[in-house]
Structures are given as structure tokens and as C-alpha cells.
Amino acid sequence: MPALTSRAIQIDAPGGPEAMQLRQIEVPEPGPGEVRVAHRAVGLNFIDVYHRTGLYPLGMPSTLGMEAAGVVDAVGSGVTHLQPGDRVAYVAATPGSYADARTLPADTVCRLPDAISFDTGAAMMLKGLTAQYLLRRVRGQHEVKAGDFILFHAAAGGVGLIACQWARAMGLQLIATAGSEEKCALALVNGASHAINYRTENFAERVREITGGAGVKVVYDSVGKDTFEGSLDCLMPFGLMVSFGNASGPVPPVAPAVLAQKGCLYLTRQTLFVHMRGREATQAMADDLFAAVESGDVKIHIDQRFALTDVQEAHRSLEARKTTGCSVLML
């Protein structure tokens, strides 16, 4: 089977949005354990900015993008869970989805239920599976149960809006933070029990007020440097600080004694692909996400759609915090 020609967005060196260039590339025939997917829609995520700027280094030249949805075009030997013509969605550990098509390992590619559209599938895999592992798999000393308070930063973003809805379905009292009154209102509409505008309020003080001084069992923080210290002050003794991103910059080194002083806290740095190791784990996580979406407990909000050729504008909007919910590139 011959290679396909595809449009792709590539960079030759780290840089600003202008570093991304539209090119024609060849998409090879799948080898053992691989599939080739013809994309219908591609997801945009803040990790794409990290890759473009070099915060997370890549080999060069590199095609950006972590997730997409489309149709299986060809299947390599040893792949048994997919066949040509299947509707699929994926998030991949290696970038390369900003393209019309790509060949990739089949392990993280999942059949997309007929009830879920391609653009929804493309928008939800990285963000939805991130919310899934945060709420359903990450555990500290305290067991999180219905009625408990948790704190979720950047709650009006793609991961955050999914987490707000999923937490509501689980009976959790999610305290959301966001950077504007409009974003706070959005988090509340999507299931947050309380919302704090961190630009106008001290979020640590407000969390203590909301919880009657007790603090929360878990903080989920993808913001990083700007919120880390305040997040520790929101936790009850033996609480769990879950760091899973660096939108404001990397967190500085932390002295273990600080964790002791603030209540013998637990600190973990989480990444999605450790949870997705192995075909069985990936499918189980995806099934949980698909069920939440199909039941209506979680609705995927796609608030921005861009053409592939408008990817520079898309990245500028991401970096300027002008986006809410999910963003996709339409092909």
C-alpha cells in the first residue's frame, strides 16, 4: 500500500506561533502494531504550546498535536481491535496530529461510539482522559467520596469543564478557580459548587471560608508556578496536592519540610500516559469517558473551531487565555 500525502503543521525550531508552517508530508503505510488514521478533526491543547516553545523538547522537524478523530485507513500486522473503516479517536504520547492523516501505534487508538461526533471525539480524548484519571484513579490518604470538597484550578478550560461535570455526577463539591467572572459563571453552570475569581480574590482564603476552615481533600492544579503555594494552603492535613501542568510556568523546587509544616501533605506530579500504559488500561479509561459522555453526565463544550491553516491564530488565542472549553482544528 503506497504512502499518502498529507498537509501537516510543522516546526523546525522552538518559537512563537509563527514558527508553525503548513507543509506537505508523506504518511507511511502502517507497520506492525500501527494504524493509519485519516483525520476529520484535531484537538488543540496547551501542551501543544509547550511543544512549540520548547518547554517540552521535541526532535526537529516535528509535527505538533496530540489528539484527533477520524477513520482508520489501514491497519498493520498484529492489530486486532481495529480495522479499516472504523471510526476512531485517540490521544498519542508522540505529537503528530496536526495533519490530514498520520500513522501511529494502535494501542492508544480507540473505536469512537457512533453517538459521538468526530469533532467531539477529537476535542475530548486528552482532556477527558485527563479528567478521568484525576478524579477516578489518583488517590492520597483520604478517600474522596460524595459530599467532599475538592479544588480545581483553571476550571473553565477544557479539562476543567469536564471535571466540573464529572465531579457533580460523583456528588463532589468542586470549588473552581478561574480568571474572570464570566469563566467563574461558566464553571458554575457546568457543575462547580463554588467559583473563585483568582484575579480579584485570595483563593486560599476563600477556600478556607467555604470549607469552614477545614480545607479541601485534594487540589488539582494545572496552572503551576502562580497557584502552587496558595494551593498548599487550601489543603486539610494529609491532603493531596495533584500537579498536572505548568500553564503559568514550572513550579520552583519544593523543600519537603514545607509539606510537613502545612499539615503532612502529599504531593504528586501526574501525567496522562503513565496511566495509559497498556492497551487494557487505555480502553478501560476510554470506556469510562465514553459512558460519561453518552449518558449526558459530561458534555464536551467546543467553544472554538479553527481551520488547519489558521493554527497560528489558534495558538495565540490559547496563550492569551481567550479560549474556554475545548478548541479543535477542522479538516
Query: For residue range 111-141, what is the model confidence (pLDDT) as tens digits?
Result: 999 999 999 999 999 999 999 999 999 998 8
Predicted pLDDT at 273: 93
Summarize pLDDT for 48-62 with one digit per residue, the tens.
Answer: 999 999 988 999 999
- What are the residues whose beta carbons fall under 8 Å from the beta carbon of 286, sequence distance 6 or more? 110, 125, 129
Question: Where residue 2 falls among pLDDT bands split at 50, 70, 90?
Answer: low
Summarize pLDDT for 183-211 with one digit per residue, the tens.
Answer: 999 999 999 999 999 999 999 999 999 99
- pTM surpassing 0.85? yes
Q: H helices of the chain, where?
A: 46-53, 118-136, 158-170, 181-189, 203-210, 228-232, 256-261, 272-275, 279-295, 311-319
User: Cα separation of 198 and 154, whole Å?
Assistant: 10
Average pLDDT for residues 240-269, to the nearest whole number? 91
Domain architecture of the chain: domains with CATH: 4-128+276-330 (3.90.180.10), 139-269 (3.40.50.720)
Predicted pLDDT at 1: 54
Predicted pLDDT at 41: 98
Amino acid of residue 159: V
